[in-house]
Amino acid sequence: MSNLIVKELSKTYQNGVKALNNLSLEIGTGMFGLLGPNGAGKSTLMRTIATLQQPDSGCISFQEIDVLTHPMELRKILGYLPQEFGVYPKVSAEKLLDYFATLKGIASAKQRAAISQEVLELTNLYDDRRKSVSDYSGGMKQRFGIAQLLLNRPKLIIVDEPTAGLDPAERKRFLNVLREVGTQNTVLFSTHIVDDVHELCNDMAIVNHGQVLKKSTPEQAINELEGKIWATKTSPDELGSYKNKTLVLSSNFSSDNSLIIRVYSNTKPDRHFSAESPTLEDVYFCVLQSKEHTGQSYA
């Protein structure tokens, strides 16, 4: 079994915060999006799978490795890019990769040079290989982070909130790199940015309060909301009354400063509403808000 299997994982910190609450998940080959708000437990789950911390209970397996019992076995085939991954010295990318490759046990200088060139080309950094990584832009540093984790040809790759703070062009370049990396590997991709998951992932889970609220493909989740998303223009003063009557998913001001609200409803709420095509953002808000309001996810 090559899947990543997480079973009944729980973790409560000393301050009483329950970061993981009996969480179970199975993840196959390809890009898997872990979507949830800040504080949902995503980073705790990532660090636990990456063997950086122990859970209070539960188990994790990957390619027949009992991860919690044999963490060093997983680390041999793991690539991990945390949300914050350090400050780099004034050293060129190619020299730094050579150093990291040495740490990963690649003894041959020829092999180190070959794998370094390969990952620099894959991450579109080869032309900038002689620049200091400390002088790279935010997006280039994130791509360098992917380059260094690929040095040991990992089978499991974990990336935590990698596009936060990137401008649109850098975000697009970074997602393209991840897309290419994800074709042959199991990639667990954590984010609170819905568009990243929609663009990149073939499977996903929405998590909050340390629990999986929904697991699905993005397309299937969107299709389940067909005919159930409605929108209307209103005023801020009327927003409260709509929230009392129906599940308001989102509200945004239009160019004429009127408020457009999107709601979830099995039937048309009133004559002022028009049917809308569902989006993954609708799915995200629907899952989170229906859980908060009723204690149950919509699907």
> Order of strands, edge to edge, in the sheet holding 18-27?
18-27, 4-12, 57-62, 65-66
| Whole-angstrom distance, CA of residue 208 vs CA of residue 213 | 7
Residue type, 17: V
- Say what the pTM is: 0.86
Looking at residue 224, its pLDDT comes to 97
| Whole-angstrom distance, CA of residue 290 vs CA of residue 299 | 10
| Whole-angstrom distance, CA of residue 268 vs CA of residue 153 | 52
Please give the DSSP secondary-structure letter assigned to residue 152: G
> Order of strands, edge to edge, in the sheet holding 259-264?
247-253, 259-264, 229-234, 274-275
Looking at residue 95, its pLDDT comes to 94
Residues of the chain with pLDDT under 70: 1-2, 85-87, 291-299
Q: Are 60 and 156 in contact (CB under 8 A)?
A: no
Each domain of the chain, given as residue ranges in start order, spans 4-217, 222-294
Return the sign of the alpha-carbon dihedral for residues 97, 99, 105, 110.
positive
| Whole-angstrom distance, CA of residue 248 vs CA of residue 169 | 32
Q: What angle do CA 85, 205, 276 make, to 5 degrees?
A: 115
Here the tokens at position 106 are 């690649």
Looking at residue 294, its pLDDT comes to 46
Here the tokens at position 210 are 């340390």
Q: What are the pLDDT digits (tens) for 227-266? A: 999 999 998 888 889 999 899 999 998 878 789 999 999 9
| Whole-angstrom distance, CA of residue 220 vs CA of residue 247 | 21
Here the tokens at position 212 are 């999986």
Q: What are the pLDDT digits (tens) for 157-193? A: 999 888 877 888 888 888 888 888 888 889 999 988 8
Looking at residue 57, its pLDDT comes to 97
The domain defined by 4-217 carries CATH number 3.40.228.10:
no
Please give the DSSP secondary-structure letter assigned to residue 258: P
Looking at residue 299, its pLDDT comes to 47
